[in-house]
Chains A and B, each alone.
Chain A
Amino acid sequence: MLTLTDADRKQYENIWVVAEVSSGRIQPVTHELIGKARELADASKSQVWTVVMGSGISQMAESLFAYGSDCVIAVDDARLNGIQDEIEANVLVRLIRKYKPEVVLCAATTKGRALIPRVAVKADCGLTADCTGLSIDPENGDLLQTRPAFGGNIMATIRSPKHRPQMATVRPRVMKAPEPDKSRTGKIIKESILDTDADKMKKIIEIFQSKEAAFNLSDARIIISGGRGVKGPEGFELLKRFASKVGGAVGASRAAVDAGWIGYNHQIGQTGQTVQTTLYIACGISGQIQHLVGMQSSDVIVAIDINPDTPMMQMADIAIVGDLFEVIPEILNEIPKL
């Protein structure tokens, strides 16, 4: 395939962020990406540009300077509604060819994960999904992209030495959003959709927005999980309240599912689902190996159990010795104070 010479590569500069626009708003992950892009740009003495594509987004473009963007390319068009991957990809590819960014970062959301691979193929460049670490190799300016492989058992570092731009996606909440600096300013470039960009278009039949996130254990960032110690369906009602308060999902051990207290689609473990969450709170789960294999690669594990000696209480990062029926209501009382 087309590879670039050293001289070609030098023409590519600046770190781009593709803004995540949904429900008519720029999503917070965009700020997180700009924060990271700012670090990379400072390291390579280049600029941060953000591409915002959407309908009615022109007014929002300015807000991005505060997070560290030097320039915003705004493409404001009613056809850019988050559904037309085909159009958005064509626009991005055209902008990439025109402005030659060195790096393009995008959110690893449902939308970003559909759009960016289409762009990477059409722009003949490399793409690394779900990066947890990004840095610039000082020797050659390559973007070093670190991501978990084999379900998090190994971290792989990836680069695209002969292709530009270097593209990477990052999941929401992996990077930290910087504190906005309202005094920062920058320039705005307006671009529009060409007829050739919009040769393929989906017909929209329905767009349904729901506050209630789709039930998907593996995508949940926080899981509140219950076992035999939850004692019955009423106990799971308490866990559901806990989960909805922290924006999490409810999981369960096999014992709880077998007892008929909660549905099988909540079961975590060898014979259920495997999850890898940021925060896993095990409530009254003793921690049989068959359950542990389904959740042990979660980032932080909290166990709440009246029995201090269960395997789960031993392996947890934070173990609370207490009656979950007393402790959880207190936790719910504590949280709104934040």
Chain B
Amino acid sequence: MRYHIQNKIYHVELLPPKQESEKLEKDLELFTKKYKRVLENGYCACITDNAMGNLSFQGTEMIDVLGLPVEPEQVMIHLNTFHTKENLDEILNSCIDMGIKYLLVVSGDGSERLPKLKPSDIGITGSESVTSVELLKYINREYPDKFVLGVAFNPYEPEDHEFEKMERKMAAGAEFVVTQPLIEKNPAVDRLLEKYPDVPVIVEAWMSKKLHLLSDAVGYTIPEDEAYDPIETLKMLHKMYPGCGVYLSLLSFKNHFDLLKETWI
């Protein structure tokens, strides 16, 4: 991850089509285009795992079925706790086969359709439920040295609770951190940087004008700002957090992608 920060490599989030899509073939085409554009421009494509609990296709099957190229430094996939054990191992093994090493391990959002991993599935005792911590431990135990594992940090949650969780995530083998989207300087993130100076932190930038979606994503109300300008916010984040990488969510490929070249200087 240090490599990404030093070389100013953006992490660009890509959402695979939803299972329920009524125009799947078109969605696949669009995904292919975006994915290739991210890689061609030297950025890192980050593929979500059933984001917001919406049943979607997996990053690994997208790459496989669509025959997409994989550059180990340029692909990261999200992996959450809503899988069957079988499915989880299938994804991890596909990653190894394809040369994907960066995983962002999160608890994730479930839905009725998404089976939650049970502690017994992954040989955990002493916890009633599998969170990102248990998943990290499992991956490190069963797939040692195969992956570089990242975790999420939510500065909108009560701080002590979140730092206590971060402590456990680090103990479980987390090697980098991606924050929830920031739209301004955030004291919790400052504390994070201070507390873990050796851990690469990637701050997330909200690249959509729709701030209410951000509220939905983080679970807390963020005041609506008519004048919200994603590119300006991004520039500001670079200034405020010069030692951090940046993860771009909901990036507009039409309006903003080409502007990225001049943003991180």
Contacts and interface: CB of A to CB of B under 8 A. Distances in A.
Contact of A288 (B127, B129, B133, B219): B219
B53 interface: yes
Interface residues of A, number: 17
B23 interface: no
Given A228-B161, A288-B219, A290-B219, A271 B110 contact: yes
B219 A264 contact: no
B22 interface: no
Given A271-B109, A271-B111, A288-B219, A257 B129 contact: yes
B16 to A, nearest CB: 19
Contacts of A41: none
Contact size range, B: 10 to 19
Nearest to B53: A271
B161 A260 contact: no
B212 to A, nearest CB: 12
B116 A264 contact: yes
Contacts of B58: none
A258 B128 contact: no
A162 B30 CA distance: 56
A258 B110 contact: no
Interface string A279-322: 00000000010100000000000000000000000000000000
A186 interface: no
Given A228-B161, A270-B53, A290-B219, A260 B127 contact: yes
A267 B130 CA distance: 13
Interface string B48-71: 000001000000000000000000
A142 to B, nearest CB: 38
Contact of B128 (A260, A273, A288): A260
A260 B219 contact: no
A258 B107 contact: yes
A263 interface: yes
A51 B131 CA distance: 53
Given A228-B158, A271-B53, 4 more contacts: A258-B107, A260-B131, A262-B128, A290-B219
8 contacts: A260-B127, A260-B129, A260-B130, A260-B131, A262-B128, A262-B129, A271-B110, A290-B219
